[in-house]
Structures are given as C-alpha cells and as structure tokens.
C-alpha cells in the first residue's frame, strides 16, 4: 500500500485513515496476547500494571499437581489419542477419496468434513445424548471419540489438498519396479504426503487441546482438561496462575505456528521440485 | 514371415474403452519380438500410451488378451510383471537419493545388499552417472534425471522396457543425444523395448519396427524404411515425413503402374502395390525429395510445367514451394548447391518424378 | 474411434471400475461409519428428541391413555381420577413419579410440587370416589387447566418444544397461539444472536478489509510479518484469548488504567459482563477468519489493475469501487459468511465476558441440556440454530467455489 507520487489531498487523508485503522487492527489482534504475558511474572496477585515485583510464584502454583497438572495430563492423554486416531482415519479416507471415483464421492467428502460446519454446541449436544445412551458420558474414551469427530475434518482437508498435487505416476513407477500396492503406499506415497499428514495431525492436536464446549457436556471431574479448568477458573476465581498457564499456552501456539509454517514451506518446495 | 519369430508379447484382439462408448484402442493385434525395439508412433489421443499402460498393468484390458511368453497377463498385477518403465516425467522418487531410486526395484526383490550396491553402481556407470548416487533427483539436470530413470528401469534386468515419451521434456540437442544413447544401450544389452512417441523423426531413427497408430487403430507396422517408403495409406504417408498428396481417379492400369487423372486434368503415372480398378478414387503420395526441378531428359513418365512460389533456405537443403495443377502447395526439397541460384520466386520451371516413387494409396 | 463390440463389454468395464471403486471405498469406510454413527446419527436424533415425549406415558400409562381419549372440554370422569390415584400411588412408592411430575411442570409451573405432595398424602385415599378424594387432597385437581396439562403431556410425541423455541404454544383445543409473556424469551435470544453476529461482522469488515489490503500489497518481508501477526491469535487457544480479555477489561484492568492515565475518561468504564466486552472479544477471535480469505483473494489481484484504471481516467474512489472491490467480493463474501456462521454458534466468550442479557442461543442449549436436563427444549433450540446456519451454508459454498480456494491455515 503506497501513496501515489502526486496524490491529492483527499488521497492523503484516506491513506492515513487506512494506516491508522490497520495499526489499530494489528495492535488489537496481538496486543492482548502480549500484554498479559508479563503479568504472569508478577509477585502480587492483582492483574494489572505496574507490577509490584517479579516472581515465579504463579508458575509454582501451575506446577502443583492439582488442578493444573492434573488437567494438563488429561488434556495430553486425550489430545495424543485424538491425534493418532484422527490422523489414521482421516489419511486413509482422504487417500481412498482421491484414488478412485465412486458414486456419491462429493457427498461423502461433505459428510466427513461436516463437523466443521455445525456449531460445536450442537455437535456437543448430539454427542452428549448419544454418549448418555451408550454409557460413554464422563469417560476418557467418550471425550476422545468426541474430539476425533471435531478434529478429523482438518486431517481430511489437509491430506486431500496434498494429494491433489501428488504425481500418481510415482505409485505406478513403484509398482512397475516390483513394489506391491501396500509397500508402494508406505515407501513412496506416505513419505511424500507426510507434510500434509503432519499438518493435519497438528490441526487435530490443537483442536483437541483447545476444545472446551464438548468437554463441558460430556466429561466429568475425572476428565477435567486444561481448557475446562481455564473455563472454571475464569468463571469462579481469577488469579495470575491463569495468566501463567495462558502464557505457557501462548508459547506453545507460537511453536506450533512455526511448525505449520515450516511444513507448508516444505510442501511447497517439494511440489515445485516435482515438475522439473 | 515363414518361421515364426521369437514373440515376447502378443496382443490379441485387445480393446479398451474408458466410458463404455468409445474405444480408445480397437482390434489391436500386435506382436513384440524378443530383443526388438518397437515404437508406437501416433498423434496424441491415438491410443498409444493406453497400450503401454495396459501392457504395464495399470489399465485393465476391456476385451481381448495380452500374453507375455505365451502366458496371459490378465491376472498379473503390475508389480509382478517385471517390466521396466521410463515415464514421461521420469517419476523419480523425490524423497530418495539417486542410489536409492535405482536400488528400489532390487530392494523390492529382496536381493542381498552387497549385490545391490554392485548392480546399482554398474547401472549408474552404464548411464554415465557414476559418483552421483548421493544426489537427490532435484539436484540433477533434466538429462541426468532421464538417465537415472533409465538406470532404474534397467537395473533389475526386466523382461522388457517400456518408455512413454521419455525424451519429451528435453531440449532438442539433448534429445538427439539421448536417442543415440538409448539406441546404443538397446544394442548392447539386447533388451526388448516398447517405445511410445509422437515424434516421427525419433521413431525412424531408433526403431527396428514402427507401429503407426491413429484413432485407436494400428495403421501400419513395419521397419522405418517400409513405413516411410511404402506407406500403407494416406494417414501414414502424411504422418511419417513430408508428403505431397494428390487426389484423383484411376484412368487405366498396367501391372503395378497406374495412370491417375487429377482434378486439374493432368495425368500422373504412379505405382500401386495392390491391384486397382479403373474409375477407382485414389490418393497419390510423393515425397518432396523425389520431386526433381529441371529433371533429367530421360525422366519422361511425369513431366509438368510449374512455377516457383517461394524458396526457404534450410542450410543443407532448400525447400521450394511450387504451383502446378491448379495448386500452389507442392513442396520440393532441393539439395544445397544444386542450381539453387536459379530458384527465384515467380520463375517458370519444369518438374518431374519417376512413377516408381509416386505411390497410389487407398483413401484413409 | 469406433464403438465397442457389444454391451457385454460395457458390463465388464463397469465391473472392473466397480472393483477399483470398492477397494478405494474400503479405505473411506471406517471414517464414514464413525462419522455416521457418532456424529450424523446423533445430530439427526436431535430431530427425534425435539418431538419425543415419553415420560408421562411411561410412568402413568393408564392416565395417559384416558386423557388422550378425553376431549378436554369439561373435567374428566371418575376413571381418569382413579387412574391418577393408582399410578401416583405406585409411582411414588417406586420413585418414578418425579420424572412425570417434572414433565408436567413444563406445562404449568408448580405442577411438580403438586404431584409430589399428592404422592406424599396418597395413603389417605383408600377407595372411591377418587374424584372427590383427590380434590380433597389438593383442590387444583378440580381445575381443568391441570387436566389439560396432563393431556398435553400424554405423549408419546409433542410439538411443544419446537413451538416453544419460536415462542408459540398449542392450546388445549389444538390451536397454535403466542405463548404467554413469561415464556416468550426464545425469539429474543434468536434476535439477539443474529444482532450480535451482525455487529461483530460489521466491525470485522471495517477493520479486516484494510488489514487484508495492507498485507496483500506490502512487500514480501513485511507481508510475512503482518500475516504472522494475524496467524498468532488464530493459533492461540480461544480460552487463552478470552482470558486475556477478562484480564484486560476489568474495572481495574489494563484498558481502564490506560484510559484513565491518558485522561480519556474520568472514571473506569464498565467493559466486562456487558455487551461491549462481548463485541470486543468476539471481534478479536473472528477477525482472522475474515482477514485470511480476503488476503487469499487480494493477493491474486494484480497491482497493475488499479494503475490501469487510473490511466484510463478513473478517480481513486471510482477505481476502487469498479475495479478492486468486485474482484475481492468472493473472498469478502466467503469471509463474511464464515464469520457470521461461526459467531452464531458462540458460547464460551459470551458466557465468560457477557452478562445475563448478552447470552446467545448456544447458552440456552447448554443450560437446557446440562443444567435442567430438558432434552426436548435443548434439541428444539439446537434445531433452530442449525437451521439458521444451514440457511447460510449454500451461499458460502457458492462463494468459495466462485473465488479462489481458501484453506484454513
């Protein structure tokens, strides 16, 4: 966005208006996330500036087994299981959907990614009723199944997108060189679509780790996850330990952002290599 | 053909359709002999790649049968067919090194590691890539990638090698060089090659036999010399090499020689390999290099007055466009130095050809 | 190309294609089955739960049968009273009557305690006439409106939840009318949900369009950095972002501190537990969803286009309106509908940052499902919300297909 060399007065005004709006927008997006980080190192218990002093006392609260470490453990168990299941099922389905034509393919694809389109509260309600009848309410298994439903569309989408640029002649080459289909899949297809699969896995992991609505519906005290504990904390008693846990999660999302950017960059590089 | 040649692959009444309506390959009966270099030549969409894909096992045969060593391939999956394939874009595995790419078929066959190393190195030496085994495919030039693909297709000593327009992505100079190298490899290793291309020059240079395809049908199978000098029909004559075509009607026949009356009224003497009847419609084919400008006195069969329309300089020869018999698109190829100074646009000339080199073909 | 020899060929061809399709389908099948059983089935079952009404008929089958046959014009006969006495007696003894009482309470509040009190005293009724005995225990048993409530609850299916979700009710004579004012809260929630979503979207467009334009027209390095600034909140946990706003917006929070310090206000503004806070936090969460698809489209608009328009004599505003804006419309449309659909379903943010009058439809669903256990009402409102979203979805699909493909991430 640059100002033309011989801009009119109106253009000048307009240009600066836009700049101010943009500056406000970026500040608005990132400011809150950045501003709360120092508070987590406060030695006082007020959530405001100026800080009375620096300390790690709130991080000491966070590493106490209860409630945060317990919630973290639950979250990790559920997120890891969700990621494994969603990535496997999603990759298989995306591969099957791209490999051949069969009737109703667009419909099936739409169905597989439909959990993205339905408001989470509604999915949570349906899952809650279903789990109530089959006895999965307040179990880890129930929470994992619910999270797989919400996470699997991301895997299907990313893997399908990667497979769209995939050169199927490579599979033919592998087979003509003596590799049976399964072996060709593991030795050629999978390594080449790995960036897409990994990106899908990261999405699945984040989806599970950040999910709270379904957890509120279907989990019990034994399955309290990190977001659910945050929700309770924010509603009931607000103290800087929440900010400390938030800071840790912000660092985590920064790391994930870096990973995904790297994966997409690698994927793009791979693809540009393919057509020499 | 008296004694049956040593047939490796036999297509019997093979048909292929993708939509159930149109056959992209139709009534295909073709034999590939052991050790020969057979080229499938045709315009794009003529079905030649489909034939290769069926032979490799990637496309199912809709009807008919393909046999390798007299055994049907119908239920043999691609990975058990033992055919080396060089793909148009090489299909090298981008996540594996050159060495791993070439070793791939050997690993699949569970060959001992030391043997693999030895064989891969031999194969890489054979295609002049010794020492590049650690590179990744994208670190190689197009020609080098082509050689890796070749080494990979040859290293496991397959029954035969299939090549689908393997030189299409290379520039002209490299393409010509690779043509010769592939031909040499074929001669040295004595392997059977089925080669697909739309480039008629490539087909003529490299092949033992050429099968010319159009609209899913084989038009002619023969040696490069046969398909060039004795085209079976007007399509082959037009597709292989340059050609002057004339339409006319058979006026009379005398053994192999016929007299054909053109629409312009001119009478042309030509040769026919098959008997023709009076009044039959015919197409005449005359190669530009058989057409002489200012022909010698003894060439009496076909002599016509013509006018030069334009002359294009090609270095080793000149290409002259002539007007005669009511047309202005007759092409003659004149060797450099052969009185090329006299070829001036607008100049009247006498042209001629022997009836031996002008062939009567059935309309395609 | 010639036609195949016979139809026999077509059959063979189709068989071969089917085989390949089948193996591919087998790969899709596990996930498809999973989604059908765990997701699609339960969502469809909401339709059923919104009309399912089995409670009374389960606990008091005879009563249900008698009142279903009753015309509702005058008090029912002795057989109905006899059935009620007997079924409350057994139901109270084996503690099943509470569920039926709960259901009756949806019709008339206070009915639950009335049934439970009747149950406690039911021992006093030893024989007929049951009508007088029951009215003797509680005179409301002589009030026809309570009997009509029993008739309305007799099941096994009911339209009351679906009607209630749009502030309607069915009268005893079968006519549909507006519900009494103390129950007409649901349309207000629906309106509020759309109203909040609309303003959130408006703010997102106002801030997001210039931002996307700036990212798309900046140099490579700058645009990467700016894009990362949009992606960081996009990747940050929703709870963390909401937590940040809770911290920032308090009366003694950072925003108020800053405003006081800068002398913009004299006393702290109330920014949390009201609509302002909800708007701020929701715009913050949804802004990336507008900026990213817009950016994807704007990146593909060649910069020469505006120059070309200018060289052809268009003033800047005209050039923007006639050249730039139309080319970005698919991305803008897709982003708008994405933001709108997502905000329709918001629950967490209003629950934590909003006050009682800032809750949206999702809040009602959660309340009915988890706090009061009213599955029928929860399902009916879920269907209302689902229909609102579904109505917008075809528009989104159309826009995305028309524009350049936008991917999350």
Per-residue pLDDT reduced to its tens digit, B248-295: 888 888 878 888 888 888 888 888 888 888 888 888 889 998 888 888
Please answer yes or no on whether A92 and C243 come within 8 Å at the CB atom: no
Q: Which of B325, B167, B172, B133 is nearest to B248 (CA)?
A: B325
pLDDT of residue C12: 66
- Report DSSP state, residue C73: S
Please answer yes or no on whether C34 and A89 come within 8 Å at the CB atom: yes
Residues C88/C141, Cβ–Cβ less than 8 Å: no
* A-proximal residues of B, 235-254, CB under 8 Å: none
Partners of C13 on chain B (C-beta within 8 Å) are 17, 20, 62
Strands B348-353 and B217-222: unpaired
Put simply, whether C9 touches B (Cβ < 8 Å) is yes
The Cβ of residue B132 has, within 10 Å, a number of other Cβ atoms equal to 17
Q: Which of C161, C246, B340 is nearest to A233 (CA)?
A: C246
What does the radius of gyration of chain C's CA atoms come to, in whole angstroms? 30
Compute the distance between CA of residue B248 and CA of residue C53 in angstroms, rounded to an integer.
Answer: 90
Compute the distance between CA of residue B77 and CA of residue B108 in angstroms, rounded to an integer.
Answer: 15
Q: How large is the average pLDDT for residues B72-93?
A: 88
| Greatest CA separation for chain C | 100
pLDDT of residue B340: 57
Q: Which of C64, C274, C38, C279 is nearest to C155 (CA)?
A: C64
Please answer yes or no on whether B83 and A176 come within 8 Å at the CB atom: yes
pLDDT of residue C191: 93
Look up the ipTM and state it: 0.88
Picking from A29, A47, A122, the nearest residue to C43 by CB comes out as A122
| Greatest CA separation for chain B | 76
- Report DSSP state, residue B4: P
Put simply, whether A25 touches B (Cβ < 8 Å) is no
- Per-residue burial over C303-338, b = 16 or more CB atoms within 10 Å of its CB, e = otherwise: eeebeebeeeebebeebbeebbeeebebbbbbbbbb
CA distances from B21 to C3, C17, C50 (A): 6, 15, 51
What tokens were used for A179?
Answer: 């590799």
Picking from C1, C2, C12, the nearest residue to B62 by CB comes out as C12
Instruction: With cut-offs at 50, 70 and 90, classify the pLDDT of residue A65.
Output: confident
Please answer yes or no on whether B24 and C12 come within 8 Å at the CB atom: no
Compute the distance between CA of residue A256 and CA of residue A261 in angstroms, rounded to an integer.
Answer: 8
| Greatest CA separation for chain A | 72
CATH number of B242-361: 2.40.50.100
Q: Which of B301, B347, B306 is nearest to B327 (CA)?
A: B306
Picking from C4, C14, C16, the nearest residue to B15 by CB comes out as C4
Partners of B171 on chain A (C-beta within 8 Å) are none
CA distances from C106 to A241, B95, B139, C376 (A): 42, 65, 74, 11
* C-proximal residues of A, 93-132, CB under 8 Å: 93, 95-97, 99-102, 108, 111-112, 114-115, 117-130
Residues B14/C6, Cβ–Cβ less than 8 Å: no
Compute the distance between CA of residue B349 and CA of residue B343 in angstroms, rounded to an integer.
Answer: 9
Q: Which of B342, B247, B337 is nearest to B286 (CA)?
A: B247
Query: Left, alpha or beta for A211 (phi > 0: left; psi -120 to 50: alpha)?
Result: beta
**Phi, psi for A251 (deg, rounded to 5):** -60, -40
Put simply, whether A12 touches B (Cβ < 8 Å) is no
pLDDT of residue B341: 63
The Cβ of residue B160 has, within 10 Å, a number of other Cβ atoms equal to 23
Task: HSE, CB side, 13 Å, CA atoms: give it for residue C337.
Answer: 19
Total CB pairs under 8 A between chain A and B: 77
* A-proximal residues of B, 289-308, CB under 8 Å: none
Task: HSE, CB side, 13 Å, CA atoms: give it for residue A142.
Answer: 25
Facing residues of B250 across strands? B260
Q: Which of B26, B50, B63 is nearest to C2 (CA)?
A: B26
Compute the distance between CA of residue B224 and CA of residue B71 in angstroms, rounded to an integer.
Answer: 29
Instruction: With cut-offs at 50, 70 and 90, classify the pLDDT of residue A73.
Output: very high
Residues of chain B with CATH 2.40.50.100: 242-361
Angle C203-C209-C214 (CA atoms, 0-180°, nearest 5)?
135
Put simply, whether A274 touches B (Cβ < 8 Å) is yes
Residues B48/B28, Cβ–Cβ less than 8 Å: no
- Report DSSP state, residue C108: S
The percent of residues above 70 in pLDDT, for chain A, comes to: 94
Most confident range, picked from A152-156, B164-168, B304-308, C53-57: A152-156
Q: Which of B190, A247, A22, B42 is nearest to C217 (CA)?
A: A22
Which residue carries 């809650």 as its tokens?
A128
Please answer yes or no on whether B93 and A274 come within 8 Å at the CB atom: no
What tokens were used for B72?
Answer: 């049907």
Compute the distance between CA of residue A26 and CA of residue C207 in angstroms, rounded to an integer.
Answer: 9
Q: Which of B215, B99, A22 is nearest to C209 (CA)?
A: A22
Compute the distance between CA of residue B205 and CA of residue B201 in angstroms, rounded to an integer.
Answer: 6
pLDDT of residue C90: 84
Residues C157/C71, Cβ–Cβ less than 8 Å: no
Picking from C23, C247, C345, the nearest residue to A243 by CB comes out as C247
How confident is chain C (409 residues) per 10-residue block, as mean pLDDT? 52 71 86 94 92 86 84 80 82 84 86 85 79 80 83 84 87 81 86 95 94 89 90 88 90 87 87 92 94 89 75 75 84 88 92 91 91 89 92 76 40
The matching CATH number, chosen from 3.30.300.30, 1.10.3720.10, 3.40.50.360, 3.80.30.10, for C186-408 is 1.10.3720.10
How do the domains of chain C map onto residue ranges?
Answer: 1-34, 55-158, 186-408
Q: Which of A215, A125, A216 is nearest to C361 (CA)?
A: A125
Residues B265/B326, Cβ–Cβ less than 8 Å: no
pLDDT, one tens digit per residue, over C357-376 is 999 999 999 999 888 888 89
Partners of C214 on chain A (C-beta within 8 Å) are 1, 18, 22
Strands B23-33 and B71-72: unpaired
Please answer yes or no on whether C4 and B216 come within 8 Å at the CB atom: no
The Cβ of residue C299 has, within 10 Å, a number of other Cβ atoms equal to 14
**Phi, psi for C192 (deg, rounded to 5):** -65, -40
For every residue of B58-122, DSSP letters joined together read: SS--SEEEEEETTEE-TT--GGGS-EEEE-TTTT--TTS-HHHHHHHHHHHTT--HHHHHHHHHH
Q: How large is the average pLDDT for residues B323-330?
A: 84
> Mapping DSSP to helix (H, G, I), strand (E, B) and coil, where does residue B214 land?
strand
pLDDT of residue C224: 87
Compute the distance between CA of residue C175 and CA of residue C169 in angstroms, rounded to an integer.
Answer: 8
* B-proximal residues of A, 165-204, CB under 8 Å: 167, 169-170, 172-181, 183-184, 187-188, 191-192
pLDDT of residue A94: 93
CATH number of B7-237: 3.40.50.300
Residues B186/B37, Cβ–Cβ less than 8 Å: yes
Please answer yes or no on whether C5 and B15 come within 8 Å at the CB atom: yes
Residues of chain B with CATH 3.40.50.300: 7-237
- Chain B neighbours (≥3 Cβ pairs under 8 A) are A, C
Q: How large is the average pLDDT for residues A233-252?
A: 87
> Between the CA atoms of A155, A157, A160 and A164, what dihedral angle is there, to the nearest 10 degrees?
-140
The Cβ of residue B288 has, within 10 Å, a number of other Cβ atoms equal to 18
Q: Which of C170, C95, C110, C121 is nearest to C146 (CA)?
A: C110
Partners of A154 on chain C (C-beta within 8 Å) are 408
pLDDT, one tens digit per residue, over A150-200 is 999 999 999 998 888 888 889 999 999 999 988 999 999 999 898 889 989
Picking from C2, C10, C14, the nearest residue to B26 by CB comes out as C2
Compute the distance between CA of residue A3 and CA of residue A13 in angstroms, rounded to an integer.
Answer: 11
Q: Taking 80 as the threshold, does the pLDDT of residue B181 lie above it?
A: yes
User: What's the order of all strands across the beta sheet hosting B209-214?
Assistant: B83-86, B160-164, B192-197, B37-41, B209-214, B217-222
pLDDT of residue C3: 46
Compute the distance between CA of residue B216 and CA of residue C273 in angstroms, rounded to an integer.
Answer: 75
Which residue carries 């309309």 as its tokens?
B363
What does the radius of gyration of chain A's CA atoms come to, in whole angstroms? 24
Residues B268/B260, Cβ–Cβ less than 8 Å: yes
pTM (2 decimals)?
A: 0.82
Instruction: With cut-offs at 50, 70 and 90, classify the pLDDT of residue A5.
Output: low
């Amino acid at each position: 966005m640059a100002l033309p060399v011989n801009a009119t007065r109106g253009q000048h005004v307009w240009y600066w208006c836009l700049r101010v709006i943009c500056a406000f927008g970026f500040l608005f997006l990132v400011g809150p996330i950045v501003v709360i980080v120092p508070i987590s190192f406060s030695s006082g218990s007020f959530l405001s500036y100026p800080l009375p002093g620096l300390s790690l006392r709130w991080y000491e609260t966070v590493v106490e087994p209860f409630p945060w470490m317990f919630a973290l453990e639950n979250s990790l168990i559920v997120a890891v299981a969700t990621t494994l299941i969603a990535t496997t099922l999603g990759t298989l389905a995306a591969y099957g959907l791209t490999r051949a034509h069969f009737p109703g393919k667009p419909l099936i694809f739409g169905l597989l990614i439909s959990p993205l389109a339905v408001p989470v509260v509604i999915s949570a309600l349906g899952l809650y009723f279903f789990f109530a009848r089959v006895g999965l309410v307040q179990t880890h298994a129930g929470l994992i199944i619910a999270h797989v439903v919400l996470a699997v569309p991301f895997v299907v989408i990313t893997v399908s997108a990667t497979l769209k640029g995939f050169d199927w002649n490579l599979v033919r080459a592998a087979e003509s060189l003596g590799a049976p289909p399964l072996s060709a899949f593991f030795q050629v297809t999978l390594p080449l679509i790995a960036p897409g699969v990994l990106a899908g896995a990261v999405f699945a992991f984040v989806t599970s780790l950040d999910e709270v609505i379904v957890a509120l519906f279907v989990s019990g005290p034994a399955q309290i996850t990190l977001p659910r504990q945050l929700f309770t904390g924010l509603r009931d008693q607000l103290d800087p330990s929440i900010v400390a846990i938030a800071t840790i999660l912000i660092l985590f999302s920064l790391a994930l952002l870096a990973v995904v950017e790297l994966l997409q960059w690698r994927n793009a590089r791979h693809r540009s290599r393919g057509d020499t | 053909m008296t004694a049956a040649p040593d047939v490796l692959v036999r297509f019997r009444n093979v048909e292929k359709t993708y939509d159930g309506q149109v056959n992209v390959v139709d009534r295909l009966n073709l034999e590939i002999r052991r050790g020969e270099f057979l080229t499938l030549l045709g315009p794009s969409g003529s079905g030649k790649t489909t034939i290769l894909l069926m032979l490799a096992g990637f496309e199912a045969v809709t009807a008919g049968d393909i046999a390798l060593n007299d055994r049907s391939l119908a239920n043999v999956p691609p990975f058990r067919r033992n055919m080396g394939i060089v793909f148009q874009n090489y299909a090298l595995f981008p996540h594996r090194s050159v060495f791993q790419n070439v070793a791939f078929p050997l690993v699949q066959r569970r060959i001992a590691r030391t043997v693999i190393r030895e064989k891969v190195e031999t194969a890489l030496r054979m295609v002049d890539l010794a020492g590049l085994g650690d590179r990744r495919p994208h670190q190689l030039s197009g020609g080098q990638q082509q050689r890796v693909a070749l080494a990979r297709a040859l290293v496991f000593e397959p029954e035969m090698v299939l090549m689908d327009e393997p030189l299409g992505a290379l520039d002209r100079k490299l393409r010509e060089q690779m043509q010769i190298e592939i031909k040499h490899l074929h001669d040295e290793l004595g392997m059977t090659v089925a080669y697909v291309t739309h480039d008629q020059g490539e087909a003529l240079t490299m092949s033992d036999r050429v099968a010319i395809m159009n609209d899913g049908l084989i038009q002619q199978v023969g040696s490069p010399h046969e398909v060039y000098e004795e085209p079976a029909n007007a399509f082959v004559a037009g597709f292989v090499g340059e050609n002057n075509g004339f339409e006319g009607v058979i006026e009379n026949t005398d053994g192999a020689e016929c007299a054909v009356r053109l629409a312009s009224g001119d009478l042309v003497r030509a040769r026919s390999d098959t008997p023709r009847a009076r009044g039959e419609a015919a197409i005449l084919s005359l190669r530009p290099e058989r057409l002489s400008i200012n022909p010698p006195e003894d060439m009496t069969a076909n002599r016509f007055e013509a006018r030069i329309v334009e002359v294009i300089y090609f270095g080793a020869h000149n290409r002259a466009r002539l007007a005669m018999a009511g047309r202005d698109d007759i092409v003659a190829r004149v060797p450099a130095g052969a009185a090329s100074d006299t070829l001036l646009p607008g100049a009247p000339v006498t042209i001629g050809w022997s009836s031996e080199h002008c062939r009567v073909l059935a309309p395609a | 190309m010639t036609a195949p020899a016979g139809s026999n060929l077509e059959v063979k061809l189709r068989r071969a294609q089917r085989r390949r399709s089948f193996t591919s389908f087998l790969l899709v099948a596990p996930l498809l089955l999973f989604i059908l059983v765990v997701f699609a089935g339960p969502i469809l079952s909401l339709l059923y739960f919104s009309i399912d009404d089995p409670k009374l008929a389960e606990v008091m089958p005879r009563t249900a049968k008698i009142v279903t046959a009753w015309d509702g014009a005058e008090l029912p006969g002795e057989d109905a009273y006899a059935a009620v006495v007997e079924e409350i007696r057994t139901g109270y003894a084996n503690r099943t009557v509470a569920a039926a009482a709960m259901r009756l309470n949806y019709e008339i509040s206070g009915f639950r305690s009335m049934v439970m009190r009747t149950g406690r005293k039911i021992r006093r009724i030893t024989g007929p006439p049951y009508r007088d005995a029951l009215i003797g225990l509680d005179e409301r048993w002589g009030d026809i409106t309570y009997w009509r409530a029993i008739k309305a609850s007799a099941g096994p299916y009911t339209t009351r939840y679906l009607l209630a979700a749009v502030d309607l009710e069915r009268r005893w004579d079968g006519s549909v009318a507006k519900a009494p004012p103390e129950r007409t809260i649901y349309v207000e929630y629906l309106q509020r949900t759309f109203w909040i979503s609309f303003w959130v979207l408006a703010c997102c467009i106002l801030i997001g369009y210039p931002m996307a334009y700036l990212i798309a027209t900046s140099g490579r390095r700058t645009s990467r950095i700016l894009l990362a600034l949009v992606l960081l909140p996009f990747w940050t946990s929703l709870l963390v972002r909401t937590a940040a706003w809770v911290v920032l917006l308090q009366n003694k929070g950072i925003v108020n501190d800053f405003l006081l310090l800068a002398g913009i206000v004299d006393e702290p503004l109330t920014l949390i537990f009201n609509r302002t806070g909800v708007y701020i936090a929701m715009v913050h969460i949804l802004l990336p969803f507008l900026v990213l698809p817009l950016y994807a489209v704007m990146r593909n608009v060649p910069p020469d286009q505006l120059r070309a328009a200018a060289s052809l004599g268009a003033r800047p505003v005209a050039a923007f309106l006639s050249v730039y804006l139309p080319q970005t419309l698919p991305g803008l449309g897709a982003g708008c509908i994405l933001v709108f659909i997502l905000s329709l379903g918001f629950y967490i943010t209003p629950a934590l940052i909003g006050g009682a009058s800032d809750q949206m439809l999702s809040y009602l669903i959660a309340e009915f499902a988890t706090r009061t256990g009213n599955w029928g009402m929860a399902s009916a409102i879920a269907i209302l919300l689902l229909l609102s979203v579904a109505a917008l979805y075809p528009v989104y699909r159309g826009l995305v297909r028309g524009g350049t493909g936008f991917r999350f991430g």
